Structure 1
Amino acid sequence: MTTLVGRTASVKVPATSANLGPGFDTLGLSLALYDELEVTATEAGVRVDIEGVGAGEVPTDESNLVVRSIAHAFAHYGVPLPGLHLKAKNSIPHGRGLGSSAAAIVSGIMAAKGLLEGVVDIDSDALLTLATELEGHPDNVAPAIFGGLTIAWTTPDGPRAKKLIVHRGVSPVVCVPAATMSTALARSLQPESVPHADAVFNVSRSALLIAALLQSPELLLEATEDKLHQDYRASAMPETYELIQVLRRHGLAAVVSGAGPSILVLASDPSQRLVAAELVAEASSNPWEALLLAVDFKGATVITHEVEAAAQP
């Protein structure tokens, strides 16, 4: 069998924003903000070096989410896990609704794909399945893997996703607060059932949102209306909720990014992003960081390097 020791996988994974208003647990968008990872297979042990977001905060041993994700993929294919040296350079904010945990999971699965190149072929369906097993739902991991706009759903045979290319006029801006938000807390505020009229409302807006994102950005404000989750979660992030109302009153398609508390604005032209950032700064007494981002169309990437082989004469 091919020895893995000395093999290195270089991974790049984008941030994501799930739900996009009405598309609860279904729609996700890949954003051009990245976590980068280099993983080298070693003889034994685990070493994790972190630069940027999470440095000094996240675990640097076997309990690290990226390490656990690599181990999960190796175990799935019955391949013994080698020692690992991880070098992570993180840019995606943690606990802000930008898919940081999904990015960590996808980073690990992609690293496993790179390390196992020539040993096991991990195709796109397997990437989605493995990542969803760890994340619990596919709405964030799908855009992280595939890029662009994704529609994710589950079947008896596992998760599925369809990638779509967003209209070039759509210009995202994410407003990020200093405060964090627990996804588990946000989900706990969801009722087990909703009125029939609200369900129909969201079905119509979700369908309209696909049309708006693909070909009619002028419909984004109406298409991002929601009655399934954002109002129920408002009590946990009142400032986010209030700022979204301000933005929407000014004609901007603002929604909670993922579980929050960040705000995603799907502007229909680049100039609207500056307006959104100014409105948030004016309306809030707390600091918010405005990230003017492009839609990422590539998704996660991995490159494999044979370090020791390259060093031989």
Structure 2
Amino acid sequence: MIEIVVPATSANLGPGFDTLGVGLNLYNKFYIEEIEKGLIIEGCEEEYRNEKNLVYTSMKKCFEKVGYKEKGIKIIIKSEIPSSRGLGSSAACIIGGVLGANSIAGNKLSKDDILKLATEIEGHPDNVAPALLGGMTVSIFENNNVYYDKIKIKNGIKFCALIPNFKLSTEKSREVLPKEVTYKDAVFNIGRVSLMITSLANGNYELLKVASKDKLHEPYRSKLIEDYNLIVDFCNKSEALGVFLSGAGPTIMVLLEEKNEQFYENIKELLKKLKKTWELKELHVDLEGAKLKEN
């Protein structure tokens, strides 16, 4: 049986819409093996225990790619990454499925091949790239090719995920985005995504509060998230280094100095007063990305 461990991811990092992503130390584990016949899926809700399961459909795409005809498949899922929360649960399933299928088929695909296939399945590489490669990545998908690079984040920073007890589908969060944006908003984001990359790479964390701002997706998606503005305003006025919507949301991600512990107590007091329940999770960068072990 093959064991695959895939980290959660946070995409966009504020202004880096569909291009920036970072792997985080929250994981989904997949145990996969080829069996004599049929499909067995365990460890997920009943509605996903069928041929439409994203891990399985990703495996099928990989098998088709390499020309392998499987007999049957068994998948056991142990999930820590909450689904439809903007933490890359879909990317983790895709990477897990492609890695598992590639292993069963004899490891015919390179890491770059795996990233390209995963991107074709997902539609964009901002989550699948850090899920596969770890760390912080910048990636684009152009002319059916994935171009990416890794960014080394300076020490001294951590993430705090504010995860609500309600879901927000990627499809719904995409629907609210405008078909066109103004030149002014495009320039706004170009400047801030550049500043986001350099400030994280150089350790100039005092710039992150400005660098985290976005005008391409957060103004539209924030309307789908109850108390979003209240929470973000609180974070911006606090000792937090920066705050942004994680992926398509609804999770709100906060950047903190590694030694900062007071923020948790302060934000807990605010969250207690809200109608919805929010979970706090301290996270750190996962530098290794997806890992596969053949037992």
In the superposition, the TM-score normalised over structure 1's length comes to: 0.89
Give 1:183 deviation, angstroms. 1.0
What is aligned with 1:147?
134
Q: 1: CA distance between counterparts of 2:158 and 2:210?
A: 16
Q: 1: CA distance between counterparts of 2:276 and 2:79?
A: 24
Q: 2: CA distance between counterparts of 1:28 and 1:120?
A: 26
Judged with a 3 Å threshold, the aligned counterparts in structure 2 of structure 1 residues 243 and 57 are, in CA distance, closer, same or farther, namely farther
1:239 aligned onto 2:232: no
1:164 aligned onto 2:148: no
Cα deviation 1:7-49 (Å, max 9, x = unaligned): x211000000111110001100111000001101111111011
What is aligned with 2:276?
286
- SS where residue 227 of structure 2 aligns? helix
Cα deviation 1:259-294 (Å, max 9, x = unaligned): 111110111334155256435425534321001011
CA contact (8 A) 1:103 1:144 kept: yes
CA contact (8 A) 2:63 2:102 kept: no
What is aligned with 2:38?
45
- Aligned partner (choices 111, 117, 125) of residue 124 of structure 1: 111
1:224 aligned onto 2:212: yes
- SS where residue 90 of structure 2 aligns? helix
What is aligned with 1:24?
17
Cα deviation 1:71-124 (Å, max 9, x = unaligned): 1101111111231111111110011111111111111011122223xx343211
1:178 aligned onto 2:178: no
Larger Rg, first or second structure (1 or 2)? 1
CA contact (8 A) 2:163 2:278 kept: yes
Q: 2: CA distance between counterparts of 1:167 and 1:277?
A: 25
Q: Which amino acid aligns with 1:207?
A: S
Q: 1: CA distance between counterparts of 2:113 and 2:69?
A: 19
Q: Which amino acid aligns with 1:67?
A: Y
- SS where residue 45 of structure 2 aligns? coil
What is aligned with 2:243?
254
- In the alignment of these two chains, the number of paired residues is 292
CA contact (8 A) 1:240 1:256 kept: no
CA contact (8 A) 1:175 1:277 kept: no
In the superposition, the TM-score normalised over structure 2's length comes to: 0.94
Q: Which amino acid aligns with 1:65?
A: L
Q: 1: CA distance between counterparts of 2:239 and 2:87?
A: 23
1:207 aligned onto 2:186: no
- Aligned partner (choices 262, 265, 274) of residue 254 of structure 2: 265
Q: 1: CA distance between counterparts of 2:94 and 2:165?
A: 24
Unaligned 5+ segments in structure 1 are: 1-7, 306-313
Q: Which amino acid aligns with 1:234?
A: S
Judged with a 3 Å threshold, the aligned counterparts in structure 2 of structure 1 residues 256 and 58 are, in CA distance, closer, same or farther, namely farther
Q: 2: CA distance between counterparts of 1:195 and 1:283?
A: 37
Q: 2: CA distance between counterparts of 1:281 and 1:159?
A: 40
